[in-house]
Structure formats: structure tokens, C-alpha cells
Amino acid sequence: MVFDMENQNPKKNSEGYADPTAYNGLKTIIKEESESEKRNRELIHIFRTIAYLAGFEIVGRITLKDKFNGKVYK
């Protein structure tokens, strides 16, 4: 199954047809990635808040690597 990033529907294949077998195999991975992305957004928000409270502004990229799955966020 090719996950269609434009469609954002992991239950369908790239042609738009339902593909429950592939989805059932990938749903744990999709859930873990979603949780990782949520933790990343929350952490960036915390960094920005701390910088703001200290009188600073983050002006460049913050690169983070998830220790659990190895994914790098830029």
C-alpha cells in the first residue's frame, strides 16, 4: 500500500480504493508516528515559550531527533 500524503487517508490505496489489510498492518506505525509528531510540536511550543519568557525569539531551525524511532525533525 502506498500512503497517499495528499489524500491523508491511510485506509485507501493510491488509486482511492479501500485497502483494510494494508491499513491493519500499518495502523500501529501510523499511530506511533502521529504520537511522535505531536510530541515534537509540543516540545517546539515549549522551546518558543521559554525563549519568549526569557526575552528571546527563536529565529532559526530547531532540529530534533526522536530517540525512540530515530526520526529527525527539522
**50 located within any domain:** yes
- What does the buried/exposed string (b/e) look like for 36-61 if buried means 16 or more CB atoms within 10 Å of the residue's CB? eeeeeeeeeeeeeeeeeeeeeeeeee
E strands within 1-71? 64-65
**4 located within any domain:** no
Q: Give the total number of structural domains in the chain.
A: 1
**67 located within any domain:** yes
**24 located within any domain:** yes
**53 located within any domain:** yes
**60 located within any domain:** yes
pLDDT of 36-71, one tens digit each?
899 999 999 999 999 999 999 999 999 999 998 899
**8 located within any domain:** no
Do 19 and 13 touch, CB atoms closer than 8 A?
A: yes
**2 located within any domain:** no
Range of the domain at 69: 20-73
At residue 8 the predicted structure's pLDDT band, cuts being 50, 70 and 90, is: low
